[in-house]
Amino acid sequence: MEHQLLMFRLNNVHFGIETKSVKEILRLKEATLYEMPKAPKDILGLITLRGAVYPVLDRCIEPVKRNEKDARILIIEVNLVTIGLVVDEVVSYLSGDEFKMRSENEVDVIDYQILEVDMLF
């Protein structure tokens, strides 16, 4: 089965995630987030989607410089844990064959399925 990748940008670095891990993509400026008092600075807040509540992580180094028009929240499932991850921009979708043709210098790929969940927190 051919892999499909969602390519996104965070802190001016390009990453990829298998589309099967992405449950939904939301516009950051249109999302309703609920603040969490005393939460770590990386947790932007909580979001409610279809009755489920998810933490939203923001790993951006300088959120003030983020273009709010392009910013998205990726709702992803990582090791059976569902979270929201704020990204600066969703760049494109790539099939496995398209990805193989690209230079390794052009894009860094992280497979979130093997990324430890605690690395995201």
**pLDDT tens profile 77-86:** 877 889 999 9
Percent of the chain scoring above 70 in pLDDT: 73
Q: What is the CA radius of gyration of the chain?
A: 14
pTM, entire model: 0.75
pLDDT at 2: 64
Buried b (16+ CB within 10 A) or exposed e, 44-74: bbbbeeeeeebbbbbebeeeeebeeeebbbb
Please choose, from the candidates 85, 94, 72, the residue with its C-alpha nearest in 3D space to the C-alpha of residue 43: 85
Mean pLDDT for 23-44 is 90
Q: Is the model's pLDDT at 1 over the cut of 80?
A: no
Fold annotation for 4-120: OB fold (Dihydrolipoamide Acetyltransferase, E2P) (2.40.50)
Q: Is the model's pLDDT at 59 over the cut of 90?
A: no
